[in-house]
A and B are shown apart, each in its own frame.
Chain A
Amino acid sequence: MKSFLNNRTTTSSTFGLKLLQKGWLGKGFLILVGLAAIYRLGIALIADYTVFIQQIINGLQLGFVYALIALGYTMVYGIVRLINFAHGDVFMVGSFISFYCISRFRLHLWLQNLAPDLPSAFSLVVGALTVVLVAMVSCAFMAFVIERIAYKPLRNAPRISALITAIGVSFFLEYFGALQFVFTPNFITFQRPFDVFSWSFGSLGVLPVEFGKAPPPGSILFSNIFILIVAISLALLLILNYIVRKTKIGKAMRAVAYDKETARLMGINVDLIISVTFGIGASLAGAAGMLYAIAFPSIFFSMGIIPGLKAFVSAVLGGIGSIPGALVGALILGQTEVLSAAYISTPMRDAIAFSILIIVLLVRPTGIFGEPQREKA
């Protein structure tokens, strides 16, 4: 139909019309922007490739944390079409819970205290994993409660009402946390459950580098923080993948995401599945809260806003509703942020990240892995 209507103009089309109708001008504009970025990064790579690779490693570290948060956004959006703005604050609560576990209750030392003979590295790892687990479980429980109180009554209301409620919950978590007897309105130093330690890979081979010491020139640093973040994130992603693909509850989640009414007819408890989805997403955010606090050890009541937003952006970038999309989007966003901070402009980092989001949306309107929109809202 469209081509039929266009027939008259396309037969007599000139170069100028082609520029406009086939979108050459727009594509050229985007390609020009892309080429400028590639040129800048290429120069940086040639100038000093070790620094470049180091930046990519830093970006990976950030990207995996974003991925964990982004999964919560993407799962909730996939199932109830709600942008859960409170998710970033669940992340904040996760880091505060792990802070209390470590600094007040010394939970990361439980195995060491129980069995002092075990190698300390092993018992510290087990302790850190326990703290992650506690943060995950408590965040999941909190999200479960939030979903029941704030979102469930609005299941059949217009979508915007649920969105406003989500913003309300976000405010509530932040400012309730800011009260003096809860998390206090202060910046708090997060105590890492283990000492930071790095290895440098370079022309001198693999060398251990202590925290705060300069590495040998021309080498790439891997810290144990990086290894911990990547390992825990990958493990959680694999577990999530298993849950969603293989278990009964995962199948139910996919069914509810696909068609709520039919899923209900098939005997699936839709409300329970939605609550569980919120819980799983929040538990990942809780783990991310702990990992983020280990990487950037300063926590405060509104720390969830910016990482939450970034994670949300990465979920959209990868195609909201798609789990591999969230991972890919988060890794892209982490790289974008670190590389643009390092090579283009540090204060403009966020602006560049969002420009990339808008450009990706213009080229692929539903994100990289997103399926075409099913419903007309």
Chain B
Amino acid sequence: MKIDRNIAVFFGIALVIFIVIQVAISFELLTNFITLILLQAGVMAIVSLGLNLIYGFNGQFSLGQWGFYAIGAYTAADITYRFTNDNSAIALLVILFAVGFSGLGILLLNQLLGKVRSVDPLSAFTLYLLMTILAVVIAINAAIALDPAVSSLLQSLPADLALQIVFFLSVLLGGFVAAEISFLFGLPVLTLGSDYFGIATLGFTIIVKVLLDNSDTMLGFVEMKGARGMVGIPKITTWAWVSFFLLMTIVITRNLLHSSHGRALVSVREDEIAAKAMGINVAAFKNTAFVLGSFFAGIAGSLYAHINGFLHPETFNFIKSFDPMIIVVFGGLGSVTGTVLASFLWALILEIVLRLFLPQGFETWRFVIYPLLLLIMMLLKPKGLFGGFEFLYLRQMLPAIPERLKQKLVGKNQSSNPDVPSPQEAVQ
């Protein structure tokens, strides 16, 4: 089997980086503090990649990423909390079934509504909402029926293995819950214009934060402890898990963008009307990007929940929801490489340099210097730190042109106008 050189180089570099940092962590060359920052930077990279998909590639100005991050975090934390502290898989099962049933329902309804022309988005939303409520009710009953069997099955496994399995499932489920909520929310709201969509999603972030503040009294999740913060979540997230999910996110994003769906997605950003004229279902692609981006946010949230073992609604304040936006803009809109590098750089500057290397007496100046840096960077590089730069593997290629045609094209170009680059070069 022949492996593309770019792919080999990319995965080779990724593996080397992973192993070097993993070795440094295992031999305790890095302090706990720096390890923690690295984990958080990785998580931030996943969130920002999700936002890059929504804003950078699809052009939807979303400030709701942080809300989906919070949803993922609390969902996953609830699953592992109940598993470790109550030895019950009830939360896992309820969410698994709820996600499964409502996912099936969404697919089914999507098929049905696809047959009707010009469905009003709000009506569709109402229909989906009713279906989701029904699915959740069924899921709760099914989960209660199956709980003893699954709990005893998980307990028969070695404790470590069972915890890792539950953790892995909880991360995925955190992502799926965020994705399904984003689907429901995005259905009516994505019809709004650019800025109004941003404001509505900002509202979503704030609503989620208020709900989390009152999670023990209003929502009835006693273990989340509302505004006091959730404690007792097992600390399972390791560098290996973070890099695994980060790599998966990068690969999924890359493969999506290199497919025809990805090109459709980008065309929606470039010009909605032109995209519509080319027969692209603009609403569906906006929703796809939004759901996938929120899925990544949910996964990142689930990983974040298991870093510190502590969650507080203040972490999910809307002020912080600008962080992924800042990272995406710094990395360069629509650049996967830029986003990943920028999130690590951002963590390095904000958490390490501005925490550890400020001169004596200036410790409180951290958040005075940070916005100044922000300002200077924006003034100097308004298009982002890495602009449109992409790592070779991630670079968008045009579909291969047959050799015969290529020579013809290149020859023509050279004869008529030597300045016009061939299509392959133009994209790079």
Contacts and interface: CB of A to CB of B under 8 A. Distances in A.
Interface of A: 2, 5-6, 9, 17, 19-30, 81, 83, 150, 153-154, 157-158, 160-161, 163-165, 167-172, 174-176, 178-180, 185, 305, 309, 312-313, 316, 320, 345, 347-348, 350-351, 354-355, 357-358, 361-362, 365-366, 373, 376-377
A178 B367 CA distance: 10
A361 B200 contact: yes
A164 B123 contact: no
A320 B325 CA distance: 22
Contacts of B325: 160, 163-164
B382 A158 contact: yes
A2 B319 CA distance: 42
A29 B122 contact: yes
A165 B374 contact: yes
- Of the candidates B210, B217, B365, B383, the one having the most CB atoms from chain A within 10 angstroms of its own CB is B210
Given A161-B329, A316-B199, A365 B193 contact: yes
Contacts of B116: 9, 17, 20-21
Contact of B200 (A26, A180, A358): A358
Contacts, number: 175
Interface string B372-416: 101100110011000000000000000000000000000000000
Interface in B32-64: 55, 61
Given A20-B116, A168-B374, A172-B371, 8 more contacts: A20-B123, A21-B120, A25-B126, A26-B120, A83-B198, A154-B379, A167-B322, A179-B368
B127 interface: yes
Q: Is the interface of A mostly helix, strand, loop or mixed?
A: helix
9 contacts: A5-B118, A26-B126, A29-B129, A157-B378, A161-B329, A165-B379, A350-B206, A354-B203, A357-B199
B126 A171 contact: no
Given A154-B382, A161-B378, A377-B195, A172 B372 contact: yes
Contacts of A357: 199-200, 203
B117 A9 contact: yes
Given A169-B375, A377-B193, A160 B213 contact: no
B344 interface: no
Contacts of A316: 196, 199
A7 to B, nearest CB: 10
B318 A309 contact: yes
Interface residues of B, number: 60
B318 to A, nearest CB: 7
Contacts of B272: 376
A348 B198 CA distance: 22
B181 interface: no
Contacts of B204: 354, 358
A-B residue pairs, 6 tightest by C-beta: A26-B122, A23-B120, A175-B367, A157-B382, A25-B123, A354-B203
A163 B199 CA distance: 13
Nearest to B120: A23
B203 to A, nearest CB: 4
Contacts of A20: 113, 116, 119-120, 123-124, 127
B189 interface: yes
Contacts of B383: 157-158, 161
Given A27-B122, A167-B322, A362 B372 contact: no
A347 B218 contact: yes
B244 interface: no
B143 to A, nearest CB: 27
B118 A21 contact: yes
Nearest to B217: A347
A351 B199 contact: no
B121 interface: yes
- Of the candidates B214, B365, B375, the one having the most CB atoms from chain A within 10 angstroms of its own CB is B375
Given A23-B122, A175-B367, A358 B189 contact: yes
Nearest to B197: A361
A373 B193 contact: yes
B286 to A, nearest CB: 14
A176 B369 CA distance: 9
Contact of B218 (A9, A17, A22, A345): A345
B188 interface: yes
Contacts of B333: 158, 160
B326 A164 contact: yes
A175 B207 CA distance: 26
A83 B372 CA distance: 19
B210 A350 contact: yes
A246 B116 CA distance: 52
- Of the candidates B196, B206, B207, B371, the one having the most CB atoms from chain A within 10 angstroms of its own CB is B371
B121 A26 contact: yes
A29 B126 contact: yes
B370 interface: yes
A14 B74 CA distance: 43
